[in-house]
Amino acid sequence: MSGDNPLSDDVACVAPFLDLLGIATTQDQQGHIIGKMTYQPHLIGNPNVPALHGGGVSSLLETVAVMQVMAATDASDIPKTINITVDFLRPAKPLDTYASAVLLRVGRRIATVEATAWQESEDKPVTSARVLLRLR
């Protein structure tokens, strides 16, 4: 993923917790949000594998889901997460992790979003999540 890195390294982190995890997001020309969680040693959850902590990858997925909904609705307030269901498909290696989200439905009050995270190759997802958000 190094040759076609969709993100510049200087994308501003907007919230303290995203800063802590090293999560930055950018939007491509088609309006798709791409999130990047830059690898840092403190993101490790299991040093024996070694693998990233599921909580960090889940945070990346929730973030891209929220940002994609905000991009689609021109919302100024951050939608609130009602629930999130996360499937850990493969161990997340100590590498940079990317994520994007697909809007399944955006209603007046509720949005249902599916977010996927990958590392070396986009067609080998490491984690996927279904996120239900309350818009207002």
Binding residues vs other proteins (CB under 8 A): 14-21, 41-48, 53-56, 58-60, 62-63, 77-78, 80-88, 91
Cα dist. 34→21, 23, 80, 102, 118 in Å?
Answer: 16, 10, 20, 11, 11
Cα dihedral 8, 67, 45, 97 in deg (nearest 10):
-40
* 87 versus 120: smaller Cβ distance to other proteins: 87
* 1 versus 78: smaller Cβ distance to other proteins: 78
Contacts of 119 (CB under 8 A, 6+ apart): 1, 92, 93, 95, 96, 97, 98, 126
* 3 versus 124: smaller Cβ distance to other proteins: 124
E strand or H helix at 116, and its extent? strand 110-118
* 21 versus 34: smaller Cβ distance to other proteins: 21
CB-CB neighbours of 13 under 10 Å = 14
Give least dist CB 81 to other proteins, A.
4
Give least dist CB 45 to other proteins, A.
6
Can you tell me the distance from the alpha carbon of 30 to that of 117, in angstroms, rounded to the nearest whole number?
A: 19
Give least dist CB 4 to other proteins, A.
27
* 78 versus 95: smaller Cβ distance to other proteins: 78
Give least dist CB 10 to other proteins, A.
19
